Amino acid sequence: MTASFTPAELRNAVALLSSPGLIRLITEIDDNGPILPRRLASTLPDLSAHHLRRTAHVARVHGLVRVAPGGGLALTEAGSELADFYDATARWARRHAYPTAVCSFTTRLQHSLSLLATALLADRTDGSHRPAGEGTPTIEAGTDLDRPHALLAQWLDANPQVTVCLEAELVA
């Protein structure tokens, strides 16, 4: 799994998937259905108009959202599977109070994705996906991490387009 990706491609994918705007957009659509273009700013009011446009563009280019028949943004199959991965990973993080007992959904996902990136890179070098070092979850939490780890590896294999860093993503 993910054997064909270089470390740089894996980092690109994790950077994209860790984007606060993308996390919010994907989970909002997953939870509440398509978002009409004129409702995007009121649905995610803490994100600037530029950030919203950029996030929606990047999500469309990577095949995570599409324009729905009614004109709103809807999840593609890849976007829906990403939402499932986000949910499973957030459940793991909450269950194990990772990275802390109290933090936001987005922060939990960002820290968990960082941990999973380390695990995926370790898979490539030694076949072991147990991360080591400071901030590492307990052994029990590490074992529970197997499900999000497998989901991410499977999702990346099915969606290699997210490993490509677009010029538009570099402009913040």
- Domain membership of residue 112 (yes or no) is yes
- Domain membership of residue 166 (yes or no) is no
Q: 134 or 139: whose pLDDT is higher? A: 139
- Domain membership of residue 172 (yes or no) is no
CA distance 160 to 162: 5
- Domain membership of residue 168 (yes or no) is no
**pLDDT value at residue 136:** 54
> What is the average per-residue pLDDT within 64-68?
95
pLDDT tens-place string over residues 69-86: 888 999 999 999 999 999
Confidence check: pLDDT of 166 > 90? no
Q: 172 or 42: whose pLDDT is higher? A: 42
Per the DSSP assignment, residues forming a β-bridge with 35 are 73
Per the DSSP assignment, residues forming a β-bridge with 65 are 75
> What is the average per-residue pLDDT within 8-26?
94
Q: For position 77, which CATH number holds?
A: 1.10.10
Residue 17 CB neighbours (<10 A): 26
Percent above pLDDT 90 for the chain: 67
Confidence check: pLDDT of 21 > 70? yes
In the chain, how many H helices and how many E strands? 9, 2
Q: String of b and e for 91-102 (b: at least 16 CB within 10 Å)?
A: ebbeebebbeee
**pLDDT value at residue 133:** 43
Q: 24 or 70: whose pLDDT is higher? A: 24
Domain count, the chain: 1
CA distance 160 to 92: 25
Confidence check: pLDDT of 134 > 50? no
Confidence check: pLDDT of 167 > 60? no
CA distance 65 to 47: 18
- Domain membership of residue 1 (yes or no) is no
Are 95 and 84 in contact, with CB atoms under 8 Å apart? no
- Domain membership of residue 111 (yes or no) is yes
Query: What is the reported pTM?
Result: 0.85
> Which residue range is the domain that position 50 belongs to?
7-160
- Domain membership of residue 55 (yes or no) is yes
**pLDDT value at residue 140:** 55
